[in-house]
Structure 1
Amino acid sequence: MLIILIRTIVLYFIILFVMRVMGKAELSKMSPFQMIVSFMIAELAAMPIESPDISMISGVTAIFTLLFLQVLISLLSIKSERLKNLFSGSPSVLIEKGKINKKEMKRLRLTISDLLEALRIGGSPSLSSVEYAVMESNGNLSIIQKAQEKPLTPADLSIAKSPESMPLVLISDGNFYPQNLQVSGWTETQMDSELLARGVTSRSEVFFAFCDEQSRLHVFLTDSSDVFATEVSR
């Protein structure tokens, strides 16, 4: 039992390291090649845990071999578009200028029901409102609406809008994020003053606090359902 426990802990940290080295982009795309690598890594990690007779070194060596191949192919795919299409596939246009590409759908073995389902999931229940639909290499469907079906934007109405900033978490479960506070334009003194003005004497009383797009402070308290937002922006 102790051997299984130790092997599990060691392999956990090895797999965690391998996944971090693979990178966020690799995990988010999940092309067929990346999916195969992930499944194989999971299987190779399980074998030394399930079978104590299998050497840990053999399992770890196989895992790092897959990691090497993954990183190598990723680097080669950056250099060669042909290799990238070979391992990850290429996007397929299913709807072009409002017309269904039957030839491409047949090649991908997709039915019209599959296409309509993907359009509904993508927020386009009516085929008549779609100008382009592209099946990406990771299997997701990208939908471009027809110009007359797109919602109006401030630019369409010639309305000037001030630039917005990215929302940032300042406090979460009592944990303070000073690096985010610095980017937001607030200072610790200003934030603490806003909290104190609303009866919050300690940051530990704050369940969640963040700055929105206009750099306004929003605070959720731990022991209360109340939430308040400042009218002051930084």
Structure 2
Amino acid sequence: MSLSTITIEMIVGFFALFLLTKFLGKSQLSQLTPFDFISALFLGELVGNAMYDPDVPIGIILYTVTIWGILMYSLEILTQRSMKLRKFLEGSPSIIVRKGMIDRLQLKKNKLDINQLQDLLRQKGFFSLREVEYVILESNGEISVLPKSGYEPIKRMDVNLSLRSPTLPITLVLDGVLVEDNLRTAGVSKAWLEQELTKKNIATIQEVLYAEFKEGEELLIMGK
């Protein structure tokens, strides 16, 4: 295959994919679902292989992109008209934190662990689970957060409140396992933690799904 042929096919493939993206609309980029992601990978592989195969003419590349675009557009129209098909292909939102408590069954159903949940919350500006009332895992993998009353994004200076340096919350127990390094970082002992658990009628650390320490505040404990 000559360089001129490769160049022409790359230009044609580039503009064909560009037009397909414009045709399908911005929602394909801003609301990327797992199905959309896999479809994009498949189309890229399909066009890429065709471009570097000397036996595949430009017309076949254009035909491939056109058929794929028609299929994706038709599927988009069908999902807009059928709630059941939309739910089957795109999934539905899941409430993974309800009334300030982690819904462990929903976490397992969506293949999430607590570390991943904490990471998603930090990306939204919430560094402690005690700050959130509801967390909804959307169908595109992002989360929506409803903060608890008092944790809304209001500047303390606006209401003339005294300012104090913020402190990071420290995870002491994660899915029934004591995080000993964090215990030392928090400056508390295992005996103190067990005493706090006893106050909540929890006999062992293994019964705790999540426990969080934050200086100056009550220990946050969530049972399994």
TM-score, normalised relative to structure 2? 0.65
**1:208-233: CA deviation from partner (whole Å, max 9, x where unpaired):** xxxxxxxxxxxxxxxxxxxxxxxxxx
Q: How many residues align?
A: 155
In structure 2, distance between residues paired with 1:75 and 1:98: 38
SS in 2 for 1:120: helix
**1:64-110: CA deviation from partner (whole Å, max 9, x where unpaired):** 12111111111111111111111111111100111111111111121
**1:101-137: CA deviation from partner (whole Å, max 9, x where unpaired):** 1111111121111111111121111100101101100
Q: Which residue of 1 aligns with 2:117?
A: 115
SS in 2 for 1:125: coil
The residue type paired with residue 107 of structure 1 is K
In structure 1, distance between residues paired with 2:59 and 2:153: 58
2:85 alignment partner, one of 80, 83, 86: 83
| Residues 1:92 and 2:101 aligned together | no
Q: Which residue of 2 aligns with 1:70?
A: 72
| Residues 1:141 and 2:159 aligned together | no
Q: CA RMSD in A?
A: 1.7
Q: Which moved more, 1:85-94 or 1:41-50?
A: 41-50
Q: Which residue of 2 aligns with 1:6?
A: 8
Q: Which moved more, 1:123-132 or 1:30-39?
A: 30-39
The residue type paired with residue 138 of structure 1 is N
In structure 2, distance between residues paired with 1:152 and 1:9: 51
Q: Which residue of 2 aligns with 1:16?
A: 18
Q: Which residue of 1 aligns with 2:44?
A: 42
Q: Write the mapping of 1:154-193 to structure 2, written as runs, cut at 5 A.
A: none
**1:31-73: CA deviation from partner (whole Å, max 9, x where unpaired):** 1121122112211221232112123222322221211111111
Q: Which residue of 1 aligns with 2:29?
A: 27
Contact 1:47 1:54 survives alignment (8 Å): no
Q: Which residue of 2 aligns with 1:130?
A: 132
Contact 2:97 2:103 survives alignment (8 Å): yes
SS in 2 for 1:20: helix
Q: Which residue of 2 aligns with 1:182?
A: none
TM-score, normalised relative to structure 1? 0.62
In structure 2, distance between residues paired with 1:151 and 1:13: 44
SS in 1 for 2:145: strand
Q: Which residue of 2 aligns with 1:176?
A: none
Instruction: Using the aligned pairs only, state the percent identity.
Output: 30
In structure 1, distance between residues paired with 2:102 and 2:14: 47
SS in 2 for 1:38: helix
In structure 1, distance between residues paired with 2:115 and 2:40: 30
The residue type paired with residue 62 of structure 1 is T
In structure 1, distance between residues paired with 2:107 and 2:25: 32
| Counterparts in 2 of 1:32 and 1:151: CA distance versus 1, 3 Å | closer
In structure 2, distance between residues paired with 1:64 and 1:37: 14
In structure 1, distance between residues paired with 2:15 and 2:104: 48
